[in-house]
Amino acid sequence: MATPTLDKDVSRQTSSLQYLPDASARADDASPNQFLMPLNAKVSDRDTLEIGGCDVPELVKKFGSPLYILDEQNLRKTCQQYRNALSNLYGGESLVIYASKAWSCTAICAIAHSEGIGMDVVSGGELHTALQAGVPSEKIYLHGNNKSVEELALAVEKGCTIIADNWFDLHNLVGLKPASPVRVMLRLTPGIECHTHEYIRTGHIDSKFGFDPTQVEEVFDFVTQQDCISVIGIHAHIGSQIFELQPHGDLGDVLVSWFKKAQDRGLPVAELNVGGGLGIRYTEQDDPPSIHEWIEVVTRSVTAACEKYQVALPKLICEPGRSLVGSSCVTAYKVGSKKTVPGIRNYISVDGGMSDNPRPITYQSLYRSVVANRMSATFSETVTVAGKHCESGDVVIPDAKLPPLETDDVLVVLATGAYNASMASNYNRVPRPAAILVNDGEANVILRRETTEDLLRGDCLPTRLQG
């Protein structure tokens, strides 16, 4: 297995070049989630960063900044690795579905779909996006702990699978009086702890998601009496940005034991969904397992549990979000103002921040950056990269090692594909950035930059306040 050899000692950081994918990135089995940059990022002979054959400073000139730059080949490779690992390592039928909350837009959904990936959606908006991208409804699974009746009705009408999270879902489904039985998976809280930020842990017992394990029998009793509900599977998700393999190793037994109970109660269960959660590398300290290793643990634990409980291998579904899209994208900013607080800190500010990447302020997430127009410049300074928003906490990277920066330098923050664009806001009425898909020297807009008109589109001025 190809593993990157990034130096973990921050004090030895010398220039942007060190973050470039090393020779191991060229191996077929190089796992994109283990690299800080898209696998085919390079330095051009002009000492600039190139991604997907496109020069990043040139992209910024053409499309403006901030700019999300998404490497199509990296995204496709990730999809293929998930799909191939799951179908090669699992003895039964399988499906990878993309947790589109990581970044829902039609281009990404269409690429994932063209690679044989299905879709996890959590709202009417994500559902419409998946349908618009051409994802067939039989590959769409609707999640959510507070689905509206309208969202449920849309999913039922289109023929998607509903992941019932709670009694509210089950009662609302019955209330819809569907003409034919709806495919439903039951989401259960597995009670598995994992080490990640508390906001993104979901599998522990005190979670808002899923049925509590003590309710399983009661839920089974209820659904067996409903002709309009066909419980075709069991689901659990334990959390996000997880580097340990053990929690997913433990999950198989818990899930299959419930699957077996459901089967014994006569429910037509045939699918098992283990959720997502595999972490990615954001800094040299992060050391996530590869996609292949993760799938190996998942398939081994499900297979062993099926033997133990004497059930035939169900269709196995996993739903990665972050690790599917996170490492395929970077965000390019332009450097603006600078400030030195003598003896304390140097600040440089970029033309975006918490509105295009709310993760640092929300989870204290760390990122790494490179200077796209001077890749080999020596990292001789420690500088805090601040965003442009009126909030002291709007810091993109605290104490970053970087070369001396000049106004208009292009600072590129790495691994921003997941939960950046999808969590972006218009705080301070800052328009959301454009996103560009790069591949083989071609660059296409997949999200156009918001305009002032977009920002004002929803504003209404009551007549008595006008003019």
Catalytic residue positions, numbered? 390
Binding to ligand LLP by residue 353, rule CB under 6 A? no
Total interface residues for ligand LLP by CB under 6 A: 22
Most distant CA pair in the chain: distance in Å? 75
Binding to ligand LLP by residue 241, rule CB under 6 A? yes
What is the footprint of ligand LLP within residues 90-109 (CB under 6 A)?
Answer: 99, 101-102
Q: In terms of CB distance, is 48 or 240 closer to ligand LLP?
A: 240
Q: Structure tokens of 2?
A: 């190809």
Binding to ligand LLP by residue 57, rule CB under 6 A? no
Binding to ligand LLP by residue 276, rule CB under 6 A? yes
309: exposed, middle or buried (Cβ count in 10 Å: 0-12, 13-18, 19+) = middle
- Name the minimum Å distance from CB 99 to ligand LLP: 3
Residue 333 φ then ψ, to 5°: -120, 165
Choose which of 277, 352, 360, 403 interacts with ligand LLP (CB under 6 A): 277
CB-side neighbour CA atoms (13 Å) of 421: 32
Q: Structure tokens of 296?
A: 């190996």
DSSP code string of 169-219? HHHHHHHT--SSPEEEEEEB------SS-GGGB-SSSS-SSSB-GGGHHHH
Q: In terms of CB distance, is 276 or 352 closer to ligand LLP?
A: 276
SS3 304: helix
Binding to ligand LLP by residue 202, rule CB under 6 A? yes
SS3 83: helix
- Name the minimum Å distance from CB 205 to ligand LLP: 16
Strands 140-142 and 118-121: parallel
Binding to ligand LLP by residue 421, rule CB under 6 A? no
CB-side neighbour CA atoms (13 Å) of 3: 11
Binding to ligand LLP by residue 126, rule CB under 6 A? no
Binding to ligand LLP by residue 154, rule CB under 6 A? no
- Name the minimum Å distance from CB 440 to ligand LLP: 28
What is the footprint of ligand LLP within residues 62-81 (CB under 6 A)?
Answer: none
- Name the minimum Å distance from CB 200 to ligand LLP: 4
Q: Structure tokens of 209?
A: 């998601």
Q: In terms of CB distance, is 22 or 293 closer to ligand LLP?
A: 293
CA Rg value for the chain: 23
Binding to ligand LLP by residue 120, rule CB under 6 A? yes
Binding to ligand LLP by residue 387, rule CB under 6 A? no
Task: Please name the residues in contact with 84: beta carbons below 8 A apart, sequence gap of 6 or more.
Answer: none
Q: Output DSSP code: residue 288.
A: P
Binding mask 285-324 vs ligand LLP (x if CB under 6 A, - otherwise)?
----------------------------------xxxxx-
Binding to ligand LLP by residue 240, rule CB under 6 A? yes
Q: In terms of CB distance, is 322 or 368 closer to ligand LLP?
A: 322
Q: In terms of CB distance, is 24 or 33 closer to ligand LLP?
A: 33
Q: Structure tokens of 263?
A: 């089967």
Binding to ligand LLP by residue 141, rule CB under 6 A? no
Q: In terms of CB distance, is 101 or 389 closer to ligand LLP?
A: 101
* 30, 277, 423 from 319: Cα distances, Å: 20, 8, 19
- The three-point CA angle 234-239-241 to 5° equals 135
SS3 309: helix
Binding to ligand LLP by residue 419, rule CB under 6 A? yes
Which residues of this chain interact with ligand LLP, rule CB under 6 A? Answer: 99, 101-102, 120, 143, 200, 202, 237, 240-241, 275-278, 319-323, 359, 363, 419
